[in-house]
Amino acid sequence: MPSQYIVVGAGLAGLSAAEALACPPSGRPAASVTLIDPAPRAGGVIGTVRRDGWLVERSADSFLATRPEGMELVLRLGLSDELLPIAPGVRRALIFRAGRTLPVPAGFRLLAPGRIDSIIGSELLSPAGKWRVLMERLIPSRARSTAPLEDESLESFAVRRLGRETFERLVQPLVAGIWTADPARLSMAAACPEFWDMEVRHGSLSAGERARLRHGDAGPEASGARYGQFVTLASGMETLVARLAARLEAAGVRRIVGTAQTLKRQANDGWSLTIESQTPGGVSSPSETLRADGIVVAVPSAAAAALLRPVDRELAAQLGEIEYAGSAVVSLGFNRADVAHPLDAAGMVVPRVEGRRALAISFSSSKFPQRTPAGCVLVRVFLGGALDPAANQLDDEALVALALGEAADLIGARGDPLLVQVNRWAKAMPQYHLGHLSRVARIRERLKQFPGIALAGNAYEGVGIPQVIASGQKAAACLPAEQSSTR
């Protein structure tokens, strides 16, 4: 009899774990898998709305192609023909500065300055700010210290290496567009390990970035995010999770729309999980108890803590230490003539020191043309985050009014929008606060006491789509592969 597994959570992490168990690579037998989630639609936050010629993403609109997990999944699902890169002419980011939108200096990548000439020529920084960036190569590295390396906040790291002005005008808005986090609490070691290591290995960020460019990792014009390395699907990101869910159904994965209630360890080292399922009309059915050799818990860490608390209170407490922030995305469609800005970039990020409420505005129809009716443009305004939680408390009318006001001031949007869509993501973004790596290490170590339980999701080792896929695959690999002993 094949092994029996349960996956709790049908977001991308849970779907990836179920695929790894039910459709494994050679060397591991296929298992019997049950997938449980209270939402009738699989895919979690990933979703696409198609309406009257508009294509609007509810959350992530692309993923990094240079990590293998996302591209390999696209290949397995037969979606290669759907891949679209960001349009070549807009592969750059803009920053709002004193009423103007200015480009991120060419070669400046999140924290690392790669080109001296672009720093000198940038209008974003004062002469003193430019000089401070150019002196970054002379700032002592942590590697020269005899003290053990400790975690450091992104704000502390950026100010130490690049100066306060560059942090406020460049680094903070670029990071906020990715993490929606408080940079004074965001862990460099967890959120930005590449730059954390760059200082140790090369002595400075500028030296490390030049070394990276010499090895051909990216062209010298790359700035902000690596926009040339991101791709999407022509029919929208929801196609990825919908096709994956269909693959699981074809492989015999049982899908239950319901809620995991009680998890218990069995005497034979298996597990039992009591669930409350729902009918398509939302009516609860009598509870059902399932038995399994292993369970992947692929839900936010707070929900994982609640499920695992009867098993181990210490493990639950550690999971509860991971905090989350919420955000809202207001998508706005306009006639092209009603937006003054040329929208000649992938989008714009807004420094907190500018006193605005928007974190960023993504120029969706510039990045991926043919997603609007003819003569129209589509933008997405990002609000909220860890530093503006009040935005998430606004009702839809107030939230739309806020987004319209920001769009008017930042990109010159006028008139009534042709399309409005609000997507709220309360407590959806895990905050990798200082000490996150050691916190996750303690969770992993504690989990070893409970063989057959694995964790997956964006709360642990990365929030990007490829990292979330990898977390599901890694969790599946942690489960026992022997024949079932639960029946």
pLDDT > 90: percent of the chain: 82
Q: Cβ atoms within 10 A of the Cβ of 81, count?
A: 8
C-alpha span between 163 and 140 (Å, rounded): 14
Distance CA 485, CA 487 (A): 6
Residue 215 burial (CB count, 10 A): 7
3-state secondary structure of 341: coil
Angle between helices 313-320 and 436-447 (to 10 degrees): 160
Q: What are the extents of the domains in the chain?
A: 4-45+238-322+432-478, 107-213, 324-430
Total Cβ atoms within 10 A of residue 80 = 9
Taking the chain, what is the end-to-end CA distance rounded to the nearest angstrom? 9
Give the angle subtended at the CA of 112 by the CAs of 387 and 351, to the nearest 5°.
30
CA distances from 352 to 104, 154, 330, 424, 466 (A): 16, 15, 19, 21, 29
Per CATH, the homologous superfamily of domain 4-45+238-322+432-478 is FAD/NAD(P)-binding domain (3.50.50.60)
- Rounded Cα distance, 133 and 113, in Å: 8
Confidence at residue 278, expressed as pLDDT on a 0 to 100 scale: 73
What confidence tier does 268 reach under pLDDT thresholds 50, 70, 90? Answer: confident
Cβ-contact 348, 302 below 8 angstroms: no
Residues 127 and 16: their CA atoms lie apart, in Å, by 49
DSSP helix/strand/coil, 86: coil
- pLDDT tens profile 411-445: 999 999 999 999 999 989 999 999 999 999 999 99
Residue 39 DSSP label: S
Structure tokens at 263: 């998890």
Beta-carbon contacts of 393 under 8 Å, excluding residues fewer than 6 positions away, are: none
pLDDT digits (tens, 9 = 90+) for 2-29: 789 999 999 999 999 999 999 987 666 7
What does the DSSP assignment read for 129-195? HHHHHHGGGGSPPGGG-SSPP---BHHHHHHHHH-HHHIIIIIHHHHHHHH---TTTBBHHHH-HHH
Each residue of 380-417: pLDDT tens digit? 999 999 999 999 899 999 999 999 999 999 999 999 99
Residue range 151-166: mean pLDDT, rounded: 96
* Mean pLDDT of all residues in 336-361: 97
pLDDT over 60 (residue 61) = yes
Q: Can you give the pLDDT at residue 282?
A: 60
pLDDT for the residue 145? 55
How far is 211 from 195, CA to CA, in rounded Å?
13
CATH code, residues 107-213: 1.10.3110.10
Going from the C-alpha of 485 to that of each of 12, 30, 163, 240, 265, the distances in angstroms are 29, 16, 60, 34, 13
For 63, left (φ over 0), alpha (ψ -120 to 50), or beta?
A: beta
CATH class of the region 324-430: alpha beta
pLDDT in tens, 224-245: 456 778 999 999 999 999 999 9
pTM tops 0.85:
yes
Task: Give the DSSP letter string of 374-408.
Answer: TTEEEEEEEEE-TT-GGGGGS-HHHHHHHHHHHHH
Alpha carbons 29 and 483: distance in angstroms, whole number? 9
Smallest Cα–Cα separation from 349: which of 166, 158, 178, 94?
A: 94
